[in-house]
Amino acid sequence: MKQQESEKKILWYSLAFMAFSTVWGFGNVINGFSEYGGLKAIISWVIIFAIYFVPYALMVGELGSAFKDAGGGVSSWILETISPRMAYMAGWTYWIVHMPYISQKPSASFIAASWAIFRDNRISSMNTRVLQVLCLVLFLFAVWVASKGINVLKKLSTLAGSTMFIMSLLFVVMMLAAPAITHANVLDIDWSVKTFMPSFDAKFLLNLSILVFAVGGCEKISPYVNKTKNPAKDFSKGMIALAIMVAVCAMLGTVAMGMMFDSNNIPEDLMTNGAYYAFQTLGEYYGLGNFFVVVYAICNLIGQFTVMIISIDAPLRMLLDNADDNFIPASMFKQNKHGTYTNGHKLVMIIVSILIIVPAIGIGSVDTLVRWLVKVNSVCMPLRYLWVFVAYIALKKAGERFPAQYRFVKNRTLGVILGAWCFLFTAFACILGIYSEDTFQFVLNIVTPFVLIGLGFIMPQIAKRSKAKGQA
């Protein structure tokens, strides 16, 4: 029996690979290369891993170990350590920040479809208003599909995501090997300090949110902490291995991009088309034409569309399945025969539709729209990480009230300081990420997170009124 239990335990390197596939994606390399001066992004990645990602991941491990039986993730941690009201706000934040994320998926789907069909960058010259109308139609269709149940789509999304993940790793390997194997004419890299050292200026600080957003999300693997053979040692090993793997992929991926794109002359449409340019060029190097770009585009199309549908439904379930009716109106819990929250889907539909339509009014090009979508997501999505650090600070203040097999740091004061550091760093990155030289985008960057989070304060008032009416 003991032998069977031991066999079921997750090894530290298996945990590292699980976390790696959750945290990292090829798009992070593209965004970092675009916004941090090409090869200068390498040092930026190293800094963010050292001062932020490693402590963040290890804090998640301790929280997961302390609350191994809590099923609601971050909101459960807050419920145990602070209060139901704060737990509700944590759950609300986790859900609501997915709205800009969902609004990004239709345009990403059309970009992938364009490359799969036409194999060029013609999507960049498309009228943004026409594109966003099409995005709205696709999103409404996705809401309808989500209302019917999404079990099959989860498997499809996993398959597409796995394929893109494998291709992203293959790109790095094949690109670095291309000069030796195919004698491809790639760009020469000047291996001097000047090439890699970023300018620690205003732009560096204003784009920190993109780096923070890129390395976030490892709280998803917290349930597996106590499933390792030796949680006290294996989880920290797994997370350090994860940090090394991500750092290596970020650095080598950036080098691979630097062999294709001039760091001093980065294309304006890199965020829109960079991944497709990369795979198209790789196919040319290996004499395979557009094979790689078409495969990547098709997988990305399937992945983006299915993730959009899952994101409409799954975060909503996380919010409502464990929700307190003192904070959320009873009408939000209404379900159809497929078990989907119908009024919750309607609320998602309204919010995301606004986020799709409004940007098209003042953003004139597809490339600018894509950059804005990346930016607004980098401001909004990390807001959910703040609750991880709040929970960690509360856990350390609680002392021995919540025993854990794994401890990141045993000293309570040091734990509080580290939690506060990660909280302040995340908040700092999000606040600075709001800034834009374009007035319209700047206003959107301010309004979007404040309105989304602000709705969370209104919902308990509606719940209170509906309860009072029901009792009257």
Q: Is the pLDDT of residue 28 over 50?
A: yes
| Between residues 228 and 329, the one the model is more confident about | 329
Q: Is the pLDDT of residue 412 over 90?
A: yes
Cβ(253)–Cβ(275) below 8 Å: no
Q: Which of 24-33, 72-81, 105-114, 425-434 has the lowest mean pLDDT?
A: 72-81
Cβ(266)–Cβ(61) below 8 Å: no
Cβ(299)–Cβ(160) below 8 Å: yes
Q: For the residues 325-351, what does the mean pLDDT come to? A: 93
Task: State the residue for tokens 């732009």.
Answer: 203
d(CA 214, CA 25): 8
Closest-CA residue to 220 (of 46, 80, 98, 63): 63
In which band, very low, low, confident or very high, does the pLDDT at 3 lie, cut at 50, 70 and 90? very low
Integer-rounded Cα Rg, in Å, for the chain is 22
Q: Where are the domains of the chain?
A: 10-471
Percent of the chain scoring above 70 in pLDDT: 97
d(CA 446, CA 443): 5
Q: Is the pLDDT of residue 230 over 90?
A: no
H or E segment to which residue 199 belongs: none
In which band, very low, low, confident or very high, does the pLDDT at 2 lie, cut at 50, 70 and 90? very low
Residue type, 402: F
Closest-CA residue to 167 (of 269, 68, 293): 293
Cβ(190)–Cβ(271) below 8 Å: no
Buried b (16+ CB within 10 A) or exposed e, 373-406: bbbbbbbbbbbbbbbbbbbbbbbbeeeeebebbb
Q: For the residues 93-109, what does the mean pLDDT come to? A: 97
d(CA 211, CA 193): 21
Q: For the residues 129-144, what does the mean pLDDT come to? A: 97
Q: Give how far the C-alpha of residue 77 lies from the chain's centroid of Cα atoms, to the nearest Å.
A: 21
Give the pLDDT confidence score for residue 1 in this predicted structure.
42
Residues 6 or more apart in contact with residue 419 via CB below 8 angstroms: 59, 389, 390, 392, 393, 396
| Between residues 236 and 413, the one the model is more confident about | 413
pLDDT in tens, 419-436: 999 999 999 999 999 999
Q: Is the pLDDT of residue 219 over 90?
A: no
Q: For the residues 211-227, what does the mean pLDDT come to? A: 85
Closest-CA residue to 30 (of 246, 270, 204): 270
Q: For the residues 449-463, what does the mean pLDDT come to? A: 95
Q: Which of 28-37, 85-94, 310-319 has the lowest mean pLDDT?
A: 310-319
Q: Which CATH superfamily is domain 10-471 in?
A: Amino acid/polyamine transporter I (1.20.1740.10)
Q: For the residues 427-450, what does the mean pLDDT come to? A: 97
Give the pLDDT confidence score for residue 71 in this predicted structure.
64
**Both tokens assigned to 358:** 């409004």
Q: For the residues 56-72, what does the mean pLDDT come to? A: 85
Cβ(441)–Cβ(363) below 8 Å: yes
In which band, very low, low, confident or very high, does the pLDDT at 156 lie, cut at 50, 70 and 90? confident
Q: Is the pLDDT of residue 62 over 80?
A: yes
Q: Is the pLDDT of residue 8 over 70?
A: no
Closest-CA residue to 54 (of 197, 237, 213, 319): 237
Q: Is the pLDDT of residue 150 over 80?
A: no
Length of the chain: 472
d(CA 404, CA 412): 13
Q: Is the pLDDT of residue 389 over 80?
A: yes
Q: Is the pLDDT of residue 7 over 80?
A: no
DSSP letter assigned to residue 333: G
Give the pLDDT confidence score for residue 4 in this predicted structure.
45
Q: Is the pLDDT of residue 53 over 80?
A: yes
Q: Is the pLDDT of residue 142 over 90?
A: yes
In which band, very low, low, confident or very high, does the pLDDT at 237 lie, cut at 50, 70 and 90? confident
Q: Is the pLDDT of residue 72 over 70?
A: no
H or E segment to which residue 329 belongs: none
